[in-house]
Amino acid sequence: MPNENNKDFIKKYIPLADFVADILGPSSEVVLNDVTDLDHAVVYIKNPTITNRKIGDPASNFVLKIMKEGIDDNTNYIANYFGKSKSHPHLRSSTYFIRKNNKVIGMLCINIDQGPLENLAKQLEIFRNLFEVKTNPISEYESSATNSSSTKEISENFNNSVNSLAEAAVKQKERELGITANYFQQEQKIDLIKGLYEEGYFLLKDSIRVIAEYLDSSVPTIYRYLNKVKKSNTSK
């Protein structure tokens, strides 16, 4: 049962959300999330055309993952990470954590549409390449060992319901495997469940039933897969 006092507390940030949205303009969306009610996390939203969400929609995959993994007491915000929605694939997103009695109960999230800037940059690059003759220093022709390092990127996908979260995950898996979900083998389904579990998907109500329908499996089967994933993570 969601704590109404928490919602009232978070709603005190609405003037701040409006203030930030008016400064950044209509290409920026500002959202207040109640993370004590993940199934209906969106408490307030200004300029909703960026992600096409509405009040009462569930938390994004980023919010779910953050809540599942926990937030360090010294972390007040996460700024400038990649986000995307169905209509805006290039978003620059930032999140400020709202605390009450030293516990995170809400998030103020900003999503800025980078699409126009990306398009302008591409046009400038095309124009520059028409006239620029590229040169390289002699040292670049010498063979040398290079060190590669991988960095974990933060990204956020915005969906409007537990169904759309499940659908997005299944479609992504279909693209990876090159087959439709009705041809998934057991291990492939378990791998999908593992990814959803790590993203915090199963914190949402009805998540088991919904993903079972998308995978044409029974609810007990999905529970069995999920328990297997949890045991595997515990044994590591």
- Residue that is last in its domain, among 115, 146, 174: 115
Task: Write out the chain's pLDDT in tens, 236 residues.
Answer: 455 689 999 999 999 999 999 999 998 999 999 999 999 999 999 998 888 899 999 998 889 989 998 998 999 999 999 887 776 777 889 999 999 999 999 999 999 997 766 666 677 777 677 776 665 555 544 444 444 444 445 556 676 688 888 998 999 999 999 999 989 999 999 999 999 999 899 999 999 999 999 999 999 999 999 999 998 877 66
22 and 109 together in one domain: yes
The CATH number that applies at residue 64 is 3.30.450.20
pLDDT of residue 161: 81
Provide the pLDDT for residue 153: 54
Please classify residue 201 by burial: count the beta carbons closer than 10 Å to its beta carbon, then call 0-12 exposed, 13-18 middle and 19+ buried.
Answer: buried
98 domain-assigned: yes
Q: For residue 116, what pLDDT is reported?
A: 62
- pLDDT for 134 equals 63
Instruction: Assess if residue 136 is contained within a domain.
Output: no
pLDDT of residue 191: 94
pLDDT value for 118:
63
Q: In terms of DSSP bridges, do strands 77-84 and 155-157 run parallel, antiparallel, or are they unpaired?
A: parallel
Are 31 and 104 found together in one domain?
yes
For 165, the domain range is: 161-235
Q: What confidence score (pLDDT) does residue 128 get?
A: 72
pLDDT at 147: 43
Residue 153 lies in a domain: no
**CA distance to 29, 35, 60, 178, per residue, from 67 (Å):** 22, 8, 11, 32
Count of domains forming the chain: 2
Which pLDDT score is estimated for 170?
Answer: 92
